[in-house]
Structure 1
């Protein structure tokens, strides 16, 4: 009897086990089938999404593909090729406003370099592009898309090496760019910690990684991970950093390792050339004057194309066939664009008005009218007022900041000294007001001789022709001293219709004599300036 009961129990147990086993396999098959169906459905959804695409924007379609497509950057492009297309390519920092072709030119320069017989770059050299404004990193080196990181087992979970306690190195952009070019857009925004790490990589040409979980004697660790921890990740590349910041805002340690190249804002003629290419290539119908109208409101190709694209969208909505001046005016008004191209300077004589020249921190030049009025007052009651300038500038240092007086005010102090000591003019008996346009934040020493001539003209009622421009610092001894940005200033003066420009003798170059339609005159001192500009010397030098 006991045997029968035991047999029945065993039979029931076996049947229950078989039932549970079948149920488990059934559920497993159902889960596997459900998972596969879900995966297949998601894959199909992804492929369907890939089939959907909007029409390519005009700005993308017209992105430069070759060197001939880069407009207005002849010198900068030549410098970029010189830096990359050699046996010993250099690291580069490119300064320039948005939309002037920094990224496109860098890609094209690498393609040109790869085609050179003696190039250091192989034909498969990569162009890795990242944006410094979006780079994020972790202090524990868990994630670092620029330099690279190590995923320790504690963070891997059930990953490939997590269960084995093996640290897993992850390569960053510097390693992905090995043998090619790493392009960092807005490099001036890079965090100081990242910047220091990058400088170390540029010096060592490899990335050294470390982990407390790494044991060089552990045979379970794969050979390639041993090699990474012992020899580092390769990172022999050439850096091209692009920035819209001023040169003074870029860390000196980075600047000292790089060739610096400035991309200029596009001039009126360059914008016209770009738009003509687009209209011809895309068969766009435009009214006479449309291209010229757009070119008056932009300084880069991207904005010019955006205005044209918006005008095309407008005529499409209105069922028009041709873009008119009215359409462009509507785009300019709705987009809030402001005029950037000044009217051509006409040949007119003015009292107390001089055409000065300036250059921005990004290397773009321009003309600026400097105006001055003078009134005789009672003895010793005079004063000097300057408007439209940066009164005070704060300069940020690593651990401190300093403030300095406007450099234009310092130049005016020099001018007053010259009038008093060299020409014996009692400036303290006059009210003098010098003004710069409010739309051009002005500072720097290069307006020295221009302000002197404006005061001289107003003081002695001597006219100056508006098609004469000048730049140069004035010392207390009346010497005209060298200033920066001369090529950009000459180009801007020429574009504005200036016929004659005075520059310091120390800045003179034989290449400046090759310019058409403008005469470049070097001067050593203020006496030469007075003799060249004014019909007669009203005041004489004190012996």
Structure 2
């Protein structure tokens, strides 16, 4: 019996020994397999790192200092005021692509770090992410913005995974701690992410949860206990950039931020960008060619892209200088449209007038408004208006409403003034007003222009094309203020207009120095007396 027990023990000891020996051999083998060919792979990786292409001119010319930012003086000053103080603020930047939103934000942070009283330290980070590419999991398995928790079930055979320890990973809000978090296209951020971001902005830290976390578990490292109990620091300043309109951004975010608008670059700014590039890169090009590029570029990035392609075309043709012919080829192949405004002629026209507008991104423009009016049988008149937005939908957080076009509402006001104030029988006329601009028009600022063009058409009174008007009209003939006056005046100057009528409440001393006559008015009678030969009362009689 004793021999049997001894033999059994020896047998099991041998089995156990063989098992552990096999495991040891397997571990050594797996290590060898893991490291097999690592030297070759490492060398291949290093060889790949040595291969690089020259960066495009658009990247090379990206603004790096305050002087490099062109055409955004007011916006950059506002950005500096928001960041370069003891109490920096969150910011939302509105603007078209390619106007310098990202570059200006980086430069503003660099300036803020150099200020003696700034809250930003010298090593404050600028973390940039794009809201259109952010993906997240509602279980917080993956969230590059807020951070995530890698639970043991997802960690595999790692140190924490085998020990059953959840492992929190910091997101962009923590990486930006003490610096700036720049979110491009913030208007595209998912509503769930937006709400989480608002909470982080309020708490200045981000909290994590996990069913695998136990505050009494002594196997969990101290720093992980601290993260789950106190959260990860996330005290940063948010700069959100968007190409959307203000009313499309959640009000909860807007109320926490300073709002800054970057304007579309004007022709002179685009020329300056091209000239800077030409000077820095020692490019031979004619002034006339620079002018042509600037008139076909929507923004600074477009201008540099057209220039780059023209340089490449010139090089392929073995030419030393970039010519108009090279640029015309780029314009044709790229499908670029001319943005050169049509110059006014100074002619006298009946039923034709210049209105003024501002685009969604702050660019002013001149819009020609046409009208025909023909007397018909009593009470059989008709009114048409074309080239406008017929109806608009206003979206709110949980609902949307539709309303009549603002231009149509302005026309109703105009007709009321004609009938109620001046006793003109509008119902006896066939009237057609159109905005032949190629793009749907909306807004109340065309009110006084529509009144004058209708007056011209009804009474055959010519209007000089050297004038332009902007202002809202009431049913009593009063002229109310509108927005974007500075941009409208600038657009008028570029179009060769000599005189512009604006609401009295919009008048500013700085407009006196402009190279154009600016006439403030309070009511429609003041405009009629200025541009027409007889008052409307005498005409009606």
TM-score by length of 1: 0.93
The equivalent residue for 1:268 is 267
| 1:422 and 1:541 in contact (8 A); partners too | no
Q: Does 2:218 correspond to 1:206?
A: no
What residue ranges of structure 1 are gaps of 5+ in the alignment? none
Deviation, structure 1 residue 309: 0.7
The equivalent residue for 1:169 is 168
SS across alignment from 1:178:
coil
Residues 201/28 of structure 1: CA separation in 2 closer, same or farther (3 Å cut): closer
| 1:531 and 1:537 in contact (8 A); partners too | yes
The equivalent residue for 1:408 is 407
Q: Does 2:485 correspond to 1:518?
A: no
Residues 102/253 of structure 1: CA separation in 2 closer, same or farther (3 Å cut): same
The equivalent residue for 1:250 is 249
Deviation, structure 1 residue 536: 2.8
Residues 202/28 of structure 1: CA separation in 2 closer, same or farther (3 Å cut): closer
How many angstroms apart in 2 are the aligned matches of 1:291 and 1:265? 19
What residue ranges of structure 2 are gaps of 5+ in the alignment? none
Deviations 1:476-504 (A, max 9, x none): 01111111222222222222222222111
| 1:96 and 1:263 in contact (8 A); partners too | yes
Deviations 1:174-231 (A, max 9, x none): 1111111110000010001111111111111111212222111222111111111111
The equivalent residue for 1:332 is 331
Higher mean C-alpha deviation, range 468-477 or range 396-405: 396-405
| 2:422 and 2:536 in contact (8 A); partners too | no
Deviation, structure 1 residue 27: 7.7
How many angstroms apart in 2 are the aligned matches of 1:539 and 1:294? 51
The equivalent residue for 1:530 is 528
How many angstroms apart in 2 are the aligned matches of 1:27 and 1:155? 25
Deviation, structure 1 residue 158: 1.5
**Count of aligned pairs between the two proteins:** 532
How many angstroms apart in 2 are the aligned matches of 1:423 and 1:381? 20
Deviations 1:227-255 (A, max 9, x none): 11111111111111100111111111111
The 5 Å alignment of 1:279-298 reads 279-298=278-297
Deviation, structure 1 residue 29: 6.0
Deviation, structure 1 residue 328: 0.9
| 2:467 and 2:497 in contact (8 A); partners too | yes
Q: Does 2:223 correspond to 1:217?
A: no
Deviation, structure 1 residue 288: 4.0
| 2:153 and 2:161 in contact (8 A); partners too | yes
| 2:391 and 2:404 in contact (8 A); partners too | yes
| 1:96 and 1:102 in contact (8 A); partners too | yes
The equivalent residue for 1:355 is 354
The 5 Å alignment of 1:308-323 reads 308-323=307-322
Deviation, structure 1 residue 115: 0.8
SS across alignment from 1:162:
helix
Higher mean C-alpha deviation, range 92-101 or range 334-343: 334-343
Higher mean C-alpha deviation, range 80-89 or range 481-490: 481-490
Deviation, structure 1 residue 287: 3.1
The equivalent residue for 1:227 is 226
SS across alignment from 1:527:
helix
Deviations 1:386-429 (A, max 9, x none): 11111111223333322211111111000000001111111111
The 5 Å alignment of 1:362-377 reads 362-377=361-376
| 1:359 and 1:365 in contact (8 A); partners too | yes
Deviation, structure 1 residue 361: 2.1
Deviation, structure 1 residue 159: 2.1
SS across alignment from 2:259:
strand
How many angstroms apart in 2 are the aligned matches of 1:29 and 1:319? 63
| 1:247 and 1:361 in contact (8 A); partners too | no
How many angstroms apart in 2 are the aligned matches of 1:160 and 1:34? 20
Deviation, structure 1 residue 534: 2.1
2:537 equivalent among 523, 530, 539: 539
How many angstroms apart in 2 are the aligned matches of 1:33 and 1:242? 50
How many angstroms apart in 2 are the aligned matches of 1:282 and 1:478? 57
TM-score by length of 2: 0.93
| 2:424 and 2:540 in contact (8 A); partners too | no
The equivalent residue for 1:79 is 78
| 1:135 and 1:146 in contact (8 A); partners too | yes
How many angstroms apart in 1 are the aligned matches of 2:23 and 2:91? 64
The 5 Å alignment of 1:51-66 reads 51-66=50-65
How many angstroms apart in 2 are the aligned matches of 1:76 and 1:535? 44
Residues 415/114 of structure 1: CA separation in 2 closer, same or farther (3 Å cut): same
Higher mean C-alpha deviation, range 401-410 or range 57-66: 401-410
| 2:417 and 2:475 in contact (8 A); partners too | yes
Deviation, structure 1 residue 542: 10
Q: Does 2:142 correspond to 1:134?
A: no
| 1:352 and 1:457 in contact (8 A); partners too | yes
The equivalent residue for 1:485 is 484
Deviations 1:53-82 (A, max 9, x none): 111100011000111111111111111111
